[in-house]
Amino acid sequence: MSKDWSKLYKKYKGLWVALADDEQTVVGSGKTLKEAIREAEENGYNSPIFSRMPENLNAYVGSL
């Protein structure tokens, strides 16, 4: 099942985020992965899911 990260994108665009197992709850964030890891660990999460939110969303429609 797909997840809607549009709200996460708006709040965290250009940042690394650490997500809880539900893939919706942000448990840490930062400009670098290291910052996101540290914040997640400070919040008690040792194995979160990491993703970097893009700076901007570019859609591609076409074929190869």
pTM above 0.85, yes or no: no
Q: Which of the two residues, 16 and 61, has the higher pLDDT score?
A: 16
Q: Where are the domains of the chain?
A: 6-52
Read off the pLDDT of each residue in 5-23 and give the average, rounded to a whole number: 93
Beta strands in the chain (DSSP E): 16-19, 26-30, 49-52
How much of the chain exceeds pLDDT 90, in percent?
A: 70
CA–CA gap between residue 64 and residue 62 (Å, rounded): 7
Quote the pLDDT of residue 64: 66
Cα 24 from chain centre: 9
